[in-house]
């Protein structure tokens, strides 16, 4: 049996769990498909917190309506991006709260309420690795290179956020970082294949700026997934790769996101993905990479 659009939110509202079994999604005992769009933002990194959702809301309502009218059931929405307006950092780069004015949770709940009204499940993408802002670079850099700063984000922002929205019917799940490969250092030789990035040479990985070792990015994912799972063991969590090349051990690639690699990097056994997500881009609208999921 399959669960289609009309039944999905009815089941979600009944608080039936969304689960993954093998390669399939289920809600309760019914199989279903996620079909939707990547928002990804209305105002880049400035849609939630500090009362900002009120300025973006009309645009989001239109996006939600468009997806609903097209028969979609899900939306992927970027949140912190690079930390420019959320979470709130102190002068030393530690996270002290979700935002400066204390409206982040009410902003995000209102967005979830709007999504629920349109029968849409929201997947929150926390961070972005596909571009680097000179102005805000140090904020995300601190979280990726200093575990005490990463833990401050988990304690003062991520855990309170997950706790506040985990039971909302419109919350689909969490996407830790968009395209970490944009800031990965390629060509590094490591004895452990989980951290060896020689296979990425010449692949366009590192396209934003080669800043971080694979193990730093994997630890970043591992710790945040673990934190989410500690609060909500049934949460769906993923991380979107820029190509399938870094999310498969076939086609000349290597799966940097598999359980053993994330746990080896971060040491937290709960910190593994529920499902994989990858991106597919056509070159000149005609050609696809050999590792593309869809051709």
* Domain CATH code at residue 106: 3.20.20.80
- List Cβ neighbours of 281 (8 Å cut-off, separation of 6 or more): 288, 289
- 278-290 pLDDT, tens per residue? 988 777 667 777 7
* C-beta neighbour count of 122 within 10 angstroms: 24
Same domain? For 20 and 121 the reply is no
Report, as an integer, the average pLDDT of 27-56: 95
Collapsing DSSP to helix, strand or coil, 244 comes out as: helix
Same domain? For 66 and 25 the reply is no
**264 occurs within a structural domain:** yes
Cis omega (within 30 of 0) for bond into 151: no
Strand partners, 18: 27
- 24-41 pLDDT, tens per residue? 999 888 898 999 999 999
Separation between Cα atoms, residue 230 and residue 208, nearest integer Å:
32
Separation between Cα atoms, residue 110 and residue 220, nearest integer Å:
28
Which region among 101-105, 261-265, 274-278 has the lowest average model confidence (pLDDT)? 274-278
Strand partners, 26: 19, 31
pTM listed for this prediction: 0.94
**For residue 113, what pLDDT is reported?**
98
**294 occurs within a structural domain:** no
Same domain? For 153 and 227 the reply is yes
177 and 246 in contact (C-beta within 8 Å)?
no
End-to-end CA distance of the chain: 28
Query: What residue numbers bound the domain in which 29 lies?
Result: 1-33
**For residue 213, what pLDDT is reported?**
99
- 3-21 pLDDT, tens per residue? 444 556 666 666 677 889 9
Q: How many domains does the chain have?
A: 2
Mean residue pLDDT of the chain comes to 93
**For residue 175, what pLDDT is reported?**
99
- 149-181 pLDDT, tens per residue? 999 999 999 999 999 999 999 999 999 999 999
State the alpha helices, DSSP H only, in the chain.
5-13, 53-69, 104-117, 137-145, 147-153, 159-165, 214-231, 259-266
- The structure tokens listed for 221 are 């994912």
Which region among 21-25, 34-38, 103-107, 117-121 has the lowest average model confidence (pLDDT)? 21-25
Same domain? For 49 and 143 the reply is yes
């Amino acid at each position: 049996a399959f669960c289609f659009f009309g039944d999905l939110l009815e089941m979600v509202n009944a608080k039936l769990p969304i689960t993954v079994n093998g390669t399939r999604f289920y809600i309760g005992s019914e199989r279903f498909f996620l079909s939707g769009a990547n928002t990804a933002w209305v105002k880049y990194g400035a849609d939630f917190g500090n009362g900002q959702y009120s300025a973006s809301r009309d645009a989001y309502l239109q996006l939600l309506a468009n997806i609903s009218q097209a028969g979609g059931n899900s939306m992927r929405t970027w949140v912190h991006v690079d930390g420019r307006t959320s979470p709130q950092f102190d002068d030393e780069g530690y996270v002290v709260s979700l935002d400066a004015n204390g409206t982040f949770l009410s902003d995000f709940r209102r967005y979830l309420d709007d999504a629920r009204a349109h029968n849409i499940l929201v997947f929150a993408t926390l961070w972005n690795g596909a571009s680097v802002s000179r102005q805000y670079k140090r904020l995300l850099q601190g979280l990726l290179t200093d575990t005490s700063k990463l833990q401050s984000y988990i304690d003062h922002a991520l855990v309170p956020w997950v706790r506040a929205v985990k039971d909302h019917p419109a919350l689909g799940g969490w996407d830790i970082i968009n395209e970490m490969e944009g800031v990965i250092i390629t060509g590094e030789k490591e004895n452990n294949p989980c951290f060896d990035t020689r296979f990425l040479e010449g692949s366009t990985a590192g396209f934003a700026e080669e800043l971080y070792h694979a193990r730093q990015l994997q630890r970043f994912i591992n710790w945040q997934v673990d934190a989410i799972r500690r609060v909500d063991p049934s949460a769906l969590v993923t991380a979107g790769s820029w190509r399938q090349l870094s999310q498969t051990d076939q086609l000349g690639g290597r799966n940097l996101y598999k359980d053993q690699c994330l746990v080896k990097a971060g040491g937290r056994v709960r910190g593994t993905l529920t499902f994989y997500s990858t991106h597919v881009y056509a070159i000149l609208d005609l050609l696809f990479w050999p590792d593309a999921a869809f051709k």
